[in-house]
């Protein structure tokens, strides 16, 4: 996982945030508040993209209505799919892959 | 060198021979205020913050109640009522009702936000007690005495029986105050709520009139923004507006579908989809699932299955997966083939993102190529 702070004015808050959350993933910074919009179409956060091995966007999570836990399950299924695992293994082993 | 302290005294002659007013000059002196009152206020706010940090629910509720009995300043009191009332609505409804009445008596100003919080808490507490008759009666009383449009529209959401009457009054009261009034709902949103309320009574055709007026107004707003799309600030607003309006078309499509007006439902859904565009990929699954539900009501399992397949292609939801398995079995198709098709669509529509070279906060260089792995989650955020 890689995070990108889209608000350069808040860069100074990154170390504290990382320490509080014990995050180990890299947090990238940008020098312009329009960078994420111009380059990735990001106009609001949080906004998550899942990239495949070729650097292609396999999944985009933004503003989907509903329950947070359900959303987490979907993102987990999407990650498992990209890793070549059964996306729903905990629900029903091997049903889809077979 | 001592700080210059300039104090202008308006004599007792100007003040009718009674008071002397001291006016501190900005930048030159510290305000000549009642230190004890200011200290009390600061202490009350500090104490309230400590109470709010109390993790144990019962202890927090008890301390909040005690804090209220100490009669603190109005701002702290408002915060305390707002925090305590929701804590009690399900566990101690009778106490919540008493406290709500007390808050209403203490804050008689019709525009005081605590009145709305108190009414909502009272309704929720009455609902816990399963006293629908009292809720209806309270709704009628609110309708009679309250004039704050925001309050009226909020109560409308909690009191289904008086919903339309409350919204009618909210719209009438809203029309009396300036469109730019802070903290008040915009008229279009009140109309939208009203349309949904009418739809809820089963009068879909009647509901479509105000709903269409609202949608037309938003379309015009979007057209105006599109004309200025080159401006950076407008881009962000425009993006939000498209998603916002897409949600409205989705909602009205859903209501039409429920009312058996399938053609209209599909038509509205198509417009919703057009507002989402290509960049809101996951939301397309949300549209496809509603389309599937409409086809289900129309008794068209083939089309329903096709929609769920498209939804699965952009969003791997286990419920959608289950529905595909069920539907495929029902019409003699192999679910594996459906999932294979979904994966093909997923593969075909995956686009390579813009290559980037950025630095971490600590200064290390990171490029797209350097982070590529089987799966990489790229999270865009900001710290606050």
DSSP category for residue B161: T
Do B303 and B295 meet the contact criterion of CB atoms below 8 Å apart? yes
What distances in angstroms separate CA B219 from CA B56, B239, B240, one per listed residue?
Answer: 49, 13, 13
- The answer, yes or no, to whether residue B43 has pLDDT greater than 70, is yes
- Tell me the sheet residues that pair with B367: B357
pLDDT of residue B265: 97
Q: Are strands A2-5 and A27-29 parallel, antiparallel or unpaired?
A: parallel
First and final C-alpha spacing in chain B: 42
- Return d(Cα B316, Cα B74) in angstroms, integer: 50
Q: Among all residues of chain A, which has the CA nearest to that of B283?
A: A64
d(CA B116, CA B150): 8
Say whether B27 sits in a helix, a strand or coil.
coil
**Choice among B37-41, B299-303, B359-363 with the minimum mean pLDDT:** B37-41
SS3 content of chain B, % helix, strand, coil (to 5): 65, 5, 25
Residue in chain A nearest B250 by alpha carbon: A65
B364–A53 CB contact, under 8 Å: no
Report the residue of chain B nearest A64, measured CA to CA: B283
Pairing outcome for strands A47-51 and B7-10 = unpaired
In sign, the C-alpha dihedral spanning B36, B37, B41, B44 is positive
Say if the Cβ atoms of B236 and A37 lie within 8 Å. yes
Chain A interface disruption, residue of B240, B383, B384, most A CBs within 10 A: B383
Is a pLDDT exceeding 90 seen at residue B56? Answer: no
What pLDDT, in 10s, does the model give residues B219-230? 999 999 988 877
Give yes or no for A59 touching B (CB within 8 A).
Answer: yes
* B283 band by pLDDT with thresholds 50, 70 and 90: confident
Q: Among B321, B361, B382, whose Cβ lies nearest the Cβ of A45? A: B382
Q: What is the pLDDT of residues B164-184, one digit of tens each?
A: 999 999 999 999 999 888 888
**What residue spans define the domains of chain B?**
1-35, 197-271, 280-349
B331 and B304 Cβ atoms separated by less than 8 Å: no
pLDDT higher than threshold 70 for residue B278:
no
- φ and ψ of B216, to 5 deg: -60, -45
């Amino acid at each position: 996982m890689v995070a990108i702070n889209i608000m350069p004015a808040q860069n100074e808050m990154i170390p504290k945030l990382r320490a509080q959350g014990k995050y180990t993933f890299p947090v990238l910074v940008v020098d312009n508040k329009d960078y994420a919009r111009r380059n990735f179409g990001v106009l609001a956060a949080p906004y998550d993209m899942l990239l495949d091995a070729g650097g292609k966007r396999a999944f985009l999570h933004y503003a989907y209505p509903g329950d947070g836990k359900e959303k987490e399950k979907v993102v987990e299924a999407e990650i498992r799919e990209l890793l070549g695992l059964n996306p729903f293994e905990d629900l029903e082993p091997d049903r889809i892959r077979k | 060198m001592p700080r210059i302290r300039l104090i202008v005294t308006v004599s007792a002659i100007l003040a009718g021979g009674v008071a002397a007013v001291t006016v501190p000059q900005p930048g030159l002196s510290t305000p000549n205020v009642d230190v004890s009152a200011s200290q009390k206020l600061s202490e009350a706010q500090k104490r309230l913050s400590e109470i709010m940090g109390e993790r144990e629910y019962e202890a927090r509720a008890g301390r909040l109640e005690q804090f209220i009995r100490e009669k603190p300043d109005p701002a702290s009191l408002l915060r305390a009522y707002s925090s305590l009332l929701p804590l009690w609505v399900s566990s101690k409804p009778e106490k919540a009702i008493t406290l709500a009445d007390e808050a209403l008596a203490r804050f008689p100003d019709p525009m005081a936000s605590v009145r709305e919080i108190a009414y909502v808490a009272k309704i929720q507490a009455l609902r816990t007690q399963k006293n629908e008759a009292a809720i209806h009666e309270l709704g009628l009383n609110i309708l009679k005495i309250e004039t704050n449009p925001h309050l009226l529209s909020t109560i409308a959401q909690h009191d289904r029986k008086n919903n339309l009457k409350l919204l009618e009054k909210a719209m009438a009261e809203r029309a009396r105050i300036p469109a730019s009034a802070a903290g008040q709902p915009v008229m279009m949103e009140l109309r939208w709520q009203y349309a949904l309320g009418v739809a809820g009574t089963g009068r879909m055709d009647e509901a479509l009139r105000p709903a269409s007026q609202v949608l037309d107004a938003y379309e015009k707003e979007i057209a105006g923004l599109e004309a200025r799309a080159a401006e950076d600030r407008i881009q962000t607003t425009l993006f939000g507006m498209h998603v916002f309006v897409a949600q409205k078309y989705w909602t009205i499509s859903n209501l039409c579908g429920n009312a058996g007006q399938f053609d209209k439902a599909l038509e509205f859904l198509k417009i919703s989809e057009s507002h989402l565009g290509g960049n809101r990929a996951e939301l397309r699954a949300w549209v496809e699932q509603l389309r599937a539900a409409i086809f289900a009501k129309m008794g068209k399992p083939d089309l329903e299955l096709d929609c769920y397949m498209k939804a699965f292609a952009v969003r791997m939801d286990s419920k959608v997966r289950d529905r595909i398995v069920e539907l495929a079995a029902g019409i003699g198709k192999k679910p594996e083939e459906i999932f294979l098709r979904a994966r093909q669509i997923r593969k075909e529509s995956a686009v390579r993102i813009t290559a980037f070279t950025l630095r971490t906060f600590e200064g290390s260089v990171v490029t797209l190529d350097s982070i590529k792995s089987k799966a990489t989650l790229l999270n865009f955020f900001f710290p606050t």
